[in-house]
Amino acid sequence: MLPEPIQNLVFALERLPGIGPKTASRLAFYLLRAPEEVSGQLAKALADFKTKIAFCQECFNITSAGRERCEICENGQRDGAIICVVEEPLDMLALERIGAYRGKYHVLQGVLSPIEGIGPDDLKIKPLLERIQRGGVQEVILATNPSMEGEATAQYLHPRLQSLGVRVTRLARGLPVGGDLEYADQNTLLRALSGRHEMS
């Protein structure tokens, strides 16, 4: 039997995605042996995380508390005529790392998932539609993940966005660089075949 504080920490860590009982126990015992400043820094970071982070009122990306809009929404160099719709802030960060996209974003804060009870009203769909209705947007890129939920969300959004008179595009899907055809699944091959283009 472990002392209650360690059990509580293990249970708390287990609730995090991707962390099972063994990893949670390993982390808890690491923190027990580590210098006090390590656990202190972790505790402060967790407290600050909840009190010093907010969501942008325009795109729903994360930003510093006290700011109404994030840095990307306030950046006059970004093209407001193109909005890339992503599921989570991490997806936006992945696109930003490329350095090739110069438009703005809209973070849905999830995807449609009837099994988990997540419907359109649980996502930031209404603010997206309102944002487009205000004018100035010419293209919306649907960059949801190629999962069943991501596809369902894109299919739900497509007709609603199209009815507002904007061009609706979807990120291309296909074979990864360095991948072998023999190891690709049927859906990936099908998407790669249907998304083929002229060689230049």
* Chain segment 24-40, per-residue pLDDT in tens: 999 999 999 999 999 99
pLDDT in the model for residue 199: 60
pTM of the model: 0.81
Are residues 43 and 83 both part of a single domain?
Answer: no
Query: Residue for token digits 């063994």?
Result: 22
pLDDT in the model for residue 197: 67
Sequence-ordered list of residues with C-beta below 8 angstroms from that of 66, at least 6 positions apart, any chain? 54
The predicted model gives 135-162 an average pLDDT of 94
Please indicate, yes or no, if residue 113 is contained in any of the structural domains: yes
The CA–CA distances, whole Å, from 29 to 23, 133, 196 equal 10, 53, 52
What the block records as the tokens of 107 is 């973070």
Please indicate, yes or no, if residue 44 is contained in any of the structural domains: yes
User: Domain range for residue 35?
Assistant: 4-50
Is the four-CA dihedral 166, 154, 97, 122 of positive or negative sign?
positive
Are residues 89 and 135 both part of a single domain?
Answer: yes
CA–CA separation, 102 and 83 (whole Å): 10
Number of domains in the chain: 2
Name the average pLDDT for the chain. 91
pLDDT in the model for residue 192: 76
Are residues 90 and 45 both part of a single domain?
Answer: no
Residue 22: count other Cβ atoms within 10 Å of its Cβ: 10
Please indicate, yes or no, if residue 62 is contained in any of the structural domains: no
- Does position 200 have pLDDT exceeding 70, yes or no? no
